[in-house]
Chains A and B, each alone.
Chain A
């Protein structure tokens, strides 16, 4: 089909404005779709935890009143829990209390699940952040080097680390780490966040014991906390490292085969400039998604790691709740993890749009 001159004739400012309006509409549409999709996913998340709570073989009334209660007490609690209402009313009650961060009272701690989670979460956040730093600062350079020196020693090492990272049970790695570096060599602190005689000395300000100890000028505690976080942090970080290095490598390989890299080389730029200024810049944006996702997966790894290292965080809280059959706490935790996952996905999506000019 031939394009006549009239088809591409510029109509000046009018066309310009129309185009801009179209772009704006498209962006607004995309944002609207994003909001709707996040909303629907959140609703689905709630429906799923609601459903899990309902298929429980335990009678929720008996769990509250105990099996010694008489018929009248039982029926009162039955109504108080809203179990006589139709299912959609119960679901609505569930959503509205979840929106107020009211997950009920945990049966084994005897406190609000939401405040329990708020109390234990900083410990997990601290652990996951250390792990992420390990993963990012070792994983990205490893991935880049593996891609640049393909099939060299560093490439093979990266591949092996990746394979082992994907295949090792993290709790076992933690146990082995404790056995070797704590039990045999005594290089690191043992389980827990600090030695027992340092517990509860520093005033919690940020919730991170490293930062709190440094703020309070308690350097003994700080170094003690460092010796305790090194092992769980690197074990957890190892899985993040495996994932980040593998993704960096494959993104880099893709970029290094592009023509602009050849152009840059032909122009006589140094190897370092070609790799870091040209190729890596294009890799950085998709890597943000990878890093955001691995932060989420670290939460999952934290459940097992914290159990091994007696780390008083979210994972240990969840595990205890599971073993005690405390459904309010379990479902509250599940919901929190789900929301964090959705938020991280949303965040990486938005950052991607913001940073990658091609998506505009």
Chain B
């Protein structure tokens, strides 16, 4: 959409007509037309638009956290311990007199950091394993898919817990552990997609021209799987956020005094019955963000992957 507005400035009012033209004149136009049609389908779904809006807001909040938050997330002031929400401290203050609102705002950075890194690790790994497995078939397929099945035979939180126990607590180890549990469903998906394109004529044509297996996989098969992988990882992001928060809550993810939402809940729990805001606010933040990813993912699926409907 950002490209769309850029061109709008150049082309003036004819943009819509240009985007809806019956025959595209350039590759660029064809691509933008497709993106525009996808966008039109996406905005038909109000819930998906809400999801996207929340995610964009989250990104903005994370980027401008120091400007939005009234205080630093670690600024302590023991004179104002455990104050209820007020005009001055919107979400109240915690046991060390830190402003909960500032901490929740800064926590958005950690959440985005986790989600982004897990997506950047798990999606390519899943894509590579899935396409190789699907393209080569035979014993390579059997071995890789068995491996995937073994990882899938654990509930992801339990497996992540076992990995964190071995690696030691901490946010980086939590990211590694979650990534290790996030790639198998993507590999399964990429394999299924690969199987559908492997026998098509265009792949045979490339093979006859003498392209190497790797070239076929990475230049011609993998790009066909990208859109469904993107949809899947977006839908999985909600689960990733919940797992990360769960690890933080159990004291195995981000460690205090980090303003990670799960870790905040874990300390807030000690004051739960008297100071309700310490558990309510970070939890609401987790709920809203993971809801947003679910809504956005559903909308994205309708646009990119109509077959799954």
Q: List A residues at the B interface (Cβ < 8 Å).
A: 37, 40-41, 44-45, 47-49, 52-53, 55-57, 163-164, 166-172, 175-176, 178-179, 183, 296-297, 299-300, 303-304, 307-308, 318-319, 321-323, 325, 327, 330-331, 333-334, 337-338, 341-342, 345
Contact = CB atoms under 8 A, between A and B. Distances in A.
A318 B251 CA distance: 13
B166 interface: yes
Contact of A175 (B147, B154, B265): B265
User: Which 3 pairs from chain A and chain B are nearest by CB?
Assistant: A172-B283, A44-B150, A300-B155
A296 B279 CA distance: 28
A41 B38 CA distance: 41
Contact of B276 (A49, A166, A179): A179
A172 B165 contact: no
B164 interface: yes
B174 interface: no
Interface stretch (B8-16, B190-198, B241-249): B241-249
Nearest to B289: A167
Interface residues of B, number: 44
B305 interface: no
Interface in B162-191: 162-168
Contact of B154 (A179, A303, A341): A341
Given A49-B162, A53-B166, A334-B154, A304 B249 contact: yes
Nearest to A166: B294
B291 interface: yes
Interface string B257-268: 000001001000
Contacts of B211: none
A321 B162 CA distance: 10
A169 B283 CA distance: 7
A169 B287 contact: yes
Chain A facing B: main interface SS: helix
Contacts of A183: 272-273
Nearest to A175: B279
B206 interface: no
B149 A41 contact: yes
B272 A341 contact: no
Contact of A44 (B149, B165, B245, B283): B149
Nearest to A178: B272
B229 interface: no
17 contacts: A41-B150, A44-B147, A52-B163, A57-B167, A167-B291, A169-B245, A169-B283, A170-B242, A172-B283, A175-B265, A296-B155, A303-B250, A304-B157, A308-B269, A322-B252, A334-B162, A341-B153
A164 B291 contact: yes
A318 B158 CA distance: 9
Contacts of A171: 246, 249, 265
A309 to B, nearest CB: 12
A322 B166 contact: no
Given A171-B265, A172-B283, A300-B157, 5 more contacts: A45-B150, A53-B166, A170-B246, A172-B287, A327-B166
B226 interface: no
A303 B157 contact: yes
Q: Which of A37, A169, A327, A331 has the most CB atoms of chain B within a 10 A radius of its CB? A: A169
B32 to A, nearest CB: 32
Contacts of B166: 52-53, 55-57, 327
A172 B291 CA distance: 14
Given A183-B273, A334-B162, A167 B294 contact: yes
B290 interface: yes
B146 interface: yes
Contacts of B165: 52, 321-322, 325, 327, 330
